[in-house]
Structure 1
Amino acid sequence: MGKVIALDSMVFIYLFEDDRRYINKIFPLFKDAEKGKLTLVTSIISVIEALSTPKYISDENTRMEITNFFRETDGLSVKSIDWEIAETAAGLRRENRTLRVPDSLQLSTALICRASSLITNDLNITKISIPKLNIKTLN
């Protein structure tokens, strides 16, 4: 496996909502993943957050498209929460008391998958310093 990049939930929400501020930065990542140039990883937390966006509560078709995207996109791996991820997340929270559970799970997923970077726009995550993980924003 080549370069691994982890994506936080907001990256997917920006993609699904075709957010013009970020789409030109997000789309190339997925193109490179489809071509096998890199692997994208995210936690199952991203699926939960994308599917629970208020905008989609009554739109079953869009929810199905989102589900299919996470399941079928080449070069994207959605990781379940297992013991290793949970224990790593707990350690991150012990070291960073303001870190929320979903954020700690995204970070621990990135670490366990040996991602070189995590892309997020969450200011709480960008304040965290983790050796071997470059935390980047889309801004």
Structure 2
Amino acid sequence: MKRIVIRVIIVFFFIVSTNNNESLVAAQSTGPAILVKGPVAAMGFPLIYPNAIEVWIGYYRYLDEEVVVSFTRKSVMITEEWENIVCDKLKGQTLENNSFLYKDDSWVILFQFTGEEAINCAFINTFIVRLKYFLRDVSPDSPPLFPAILEIR
């Protein structure tokens, strides 16, 4: 926990202390995504109505927008309104131009981007790689571990 807090502080001071406009632009296009809250247990998987699916929700701050990440180990059935989409190499579905649903063998995750920009594949790919790493040592009965900081490139 101390390491995470120290990393957050270092990243914060790096961004605040950058005075060069070019450096700021570069940092904004590739910068860190920081877990602001979560994962928090909730009932009802977003965009799938009605349902009582147990879900874990995390809130990230990335490029001046909020990204809401919803995770469940339960099966999620989607309607025909969802469209297939490829985000870099990941195949998933989208219901709105700012959401991406990804199904793994034993879990499902939904990314919702709240800014004006559409789906951010760099965020999604980086998050899923880190999540798979964290989940390899976690019991299926335990809450998922969401990465506290993601360096998006």
TM-score, with structure 2 as normaliser: 0.31
The higher radius of gyration belongs to 2
Larger RCO, structure (CA 8 Å, separation 6 or more): 1
- Greater share of helix residues, 1 or 2? 1
